[in-house]
Structure formats: structure tokens, C-alpha cells
């Protein structure tokens, strides 16, 4: 069996064979229609915020530790005075119905299931009321943009 480092050089054919964000991105690039991939992969306007956010993580690396007790891992943090189970927020992505038939309610349910925040996009394909009516997900934030002339 080849080492993991060697496997990473191969193009993963399934999500369960992806070992990094780069692998997931490569798989998405090969599987999704080009306009959908570029919509999900890109950033707004000149993509400077995307570039800066990505660069901010370049200074960090995961340092695997062996021979540690991993039976009780707690990723929980307190954010804005609320305890959440994961140290991140599921961020807004407009037009979710373009790439998943359950759209924003599926993301809200996932956030609720894993105990974290969800932010609904201004360009959502599902209203905040529709998500609330399912009783399964909770929107913690909503992105709002005001445009000139709106």
C-alpha cells in the first residue's frame, strides 16, 4: 500500500479518498459543471478578501501528536456569549439551490446537528421564515448588503 504522501499526488475519485482541502477542491473541479465550481470556489469582486483570508492560514500547520488519548475531544468554544461545539460558522453562500436540491435548509440542519452557527445569505433561495418553519435549523446570522439605488 503506498504511503499517504504518495496517494495525495493521485487525483481522488471520491470524497472519502480526499485527505486535504486541496483534494476536495480538485474533486469538485472535476465533478461540477464549470460555472457552479467557479461560483463556489471564487470570491466576491476582486477576490482580495478571499486571498487575504486564505493567506491568514498559511502561517499555521496542523501538528499531529501520537500516543494521545483521543476518546474525549472537545472542539467547543464560546462565541458571542454562546457555546458552540465547533470553532467555526457555516457561512453564507448565495443561491444554494444551484448546487444542492435541499438548499439553505440543509445547511441550517447541518449547523444545528453539529452545534454551530449558520449565517443565511442575502442571496438565499430560501427565506428565513421557511427555514424557521422546518423547526430543524436555526439561522444565527444573516448577511445583508445595501446597494446604491436599492
Q: What is the mean pLDDT of residues 4-29?
A: 74
Distance CA 127, CA 139 (A): 10
Per-residue CA distances from 63 to 24, 77, 85, 133 (Å)? 21, 20, 21, 43
The pLDDT score that the predictor gives to residue 76 is 93
The pLDDT score that the predictor gives to residue 149 is 63
| Collapsed DSSP state (helix, strand, coil) of residue 41 | helix
**Per-residue pLDDT for 94 more than 80?**
yes
**Per-residue pLDDT for 90 more than 60?**
yes
Q: Which residues pair with residue 8 across a beta bridge? A: none
Please, which pLDDT band fits residue 81 given cuts at 50, 70 and 90? confident
Please, which pLDDT band fits residue 136 given cuts at 50, 70 and 90? low
The pLDDT score that the predictor gives to residue 77 is 93
CA geometry: angle at 56 spanning 51 and 58, to 5°?
A: 100
Distance CA 108, CA 60 (A): 29
Angle, in degrees to the nearest 10, between helices 21-31 and 34-41: 150
N-terminal to C-terminal alpha carbon distance within the chain: 59
Global pTM value? 0.70
**Per-residue pLDDT for 147 more than 90?**
no
Amino acid at each position: 500500500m503506498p504511503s499517504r504522501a504518495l496517494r495525495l499526488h493521485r487525483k481522488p475519485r471520491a470524497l472519502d479518498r480526499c485527505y486535504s482541502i486541496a483534494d476536495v477542491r480538485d474533486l469538485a473541479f472535476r465533478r461540477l459543471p464549470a460555472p457552479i465550481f467557479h461560483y463556489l470556489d471564487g470570491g466576491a469582486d476582486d477576490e482580495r478578501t478571499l486571498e487575504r483570508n486564505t493567506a491568514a492560514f498559511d502561517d499555521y500547520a496542523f501538528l499531529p501528536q501520537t500516543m494521545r488519548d483521543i476518546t474525549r475531544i472537545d472542539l467547543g468554544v464560546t462565541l458571542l456569549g454562546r457555546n458552540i461545539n465547533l470553532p467555526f460558522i457555516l457561512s453564507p453562500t448565495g443561491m444554494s439551490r444551484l448546487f444542492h436540491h435541499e438548499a439553505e435548509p440543509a445547511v441550517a440542519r447541518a449547523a444545528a446537528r453539529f452545534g454551530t452557527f449558520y449565517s443565511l445569505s442575502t442571496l438565499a433561495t430560501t427565506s428565513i421564515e421557511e427555514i424557521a418553519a422546518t423547526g430543524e435549523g436555526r439561522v444565527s446570522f444573516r448577511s445583508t448588503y445595501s446597494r446604491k439605488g436599492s
